[in-house]
Amino acid sequence: MRAFAVDSFGSTGSVHEVPVPKPGEGEVLVRVHAAGVNVMDPIYTGGYIKDYMEHRFPLVPGIDLSGAVEAIGSGVSGFAPGDEVYGVSAKPFVGEGTFAEYAAAPISGLARKPAALSHTEAAALPHAALTALAAVDAADPQPGQVVLLVGAAGGVGSIASQLASQRGAKVVAVTSAASAGHAKSLGAEETVDYNAGEAAEQIKARYPDGVDALIDLHSDADAFAKYGSLVRKGGMAVTTRGPAGAAAPEIEKRGVRFASANRATPDRLTEITEAVDGGRLHVPPLKTFPLDHASEAIAEIAGGHVRGKLVIDLD
């Protein structure tokens, strides 16, 4: 089968011919129609967490997938060949990812694909939506509260904005002027242009008494501390980025609660499916790449400031 892979950390990578994987116990073989691109992909291919997880070469990146079950491994129930599925390939090692025509994926990370979506659209959701769910759950916005959302235009932010606004919160999105319309179309009530001056100062001027919660999907520790200073006492500051956690002690000194949000467990994909099929959750704008151009997608997401989601189209 064709798969995009790198042969060494930091290399550009290319399409390889590799064996079709065999589904192990608790796994299904999925014919991948589309694979979402996530911030972890350049981290994997760059070797940034090689000391924390096993990496196997040639290293095929990719977490998200949408496709059809081709075969089932031992101990699998609830799925059969032909079923359309989407989800995350949650393996204990890196290297047998979803940027490939076939992927052997644990059923613990899969769910039925939303009927309303194409495979390309569905592949954009799993990792981003589960991360957004975790972040919004941690912030726990209540009706009428003000939630400051940093990184609102990306895949996770586009979904977090919808989820928070559906809980009755007022979402104030920090984004560029070019992405303001995008942010408002997906739940933000107000936007702050980070190119129009210090964003924290703009927000402080609008909300001198502070905001109720912060969901920050983008900042390093210093910037997270600045945004965290805008949260009123008793409020919640949430980050999805590990390095930003270094600012937690400074934030908590002010009586603001801190939470680090990781991806929610894949069993919650059923919630995402129901929200999509019920018309309550919309897929962010997509930019697609053929498998031959996967290196370009990885480079683009590594550069940051992606609007919506990047997806590898394998059809």
pLDDT tens for residues 295-307? 999 999 999 889 9
Give the CATH class of 128-260: alpha beta
pTM to 2 decimal places: 0.96
Q: Give the pLDDT confidence score for residue 245 in this predicted structure.
A: 94
β-strand 14-17 against 2-5: which pairing, if any?
A: antiparallel
What pLDDT shows up at residue 284? Answer: 94
Q: How high is the pLDDT of residue 305?
A: 83
Distances (CA, A) of 278 to 87, 147, 291: 19, 25, 31
79-89 confidence digits (pLDDT tens): 999 999 999 99
Handedness of CA 147, 150, 155, 156 (dihedral sign): negative
Question: Tell me, what's the pLDDT at 65?
Answer: 98
Domain(s) labelled CATH 3.40.50.720 in the chain stretch across 128-260
> Residue 1: its pLDDT value, please?
98
Region of 263 (left: φ > 0; alpha: ψ -120 to 50; beta: rest) is beta
Residue range(s) occupied by CATH 3.90.180.10 in the chain: 2-125+283-313
Question: With a cut of 50, which residues of the chain have pLDDT below it?
Answer: none
Q: Report pLDDT for 304.
A: 86
CATH code of the domain occupying 2-125+283-313: 3.90.180.10
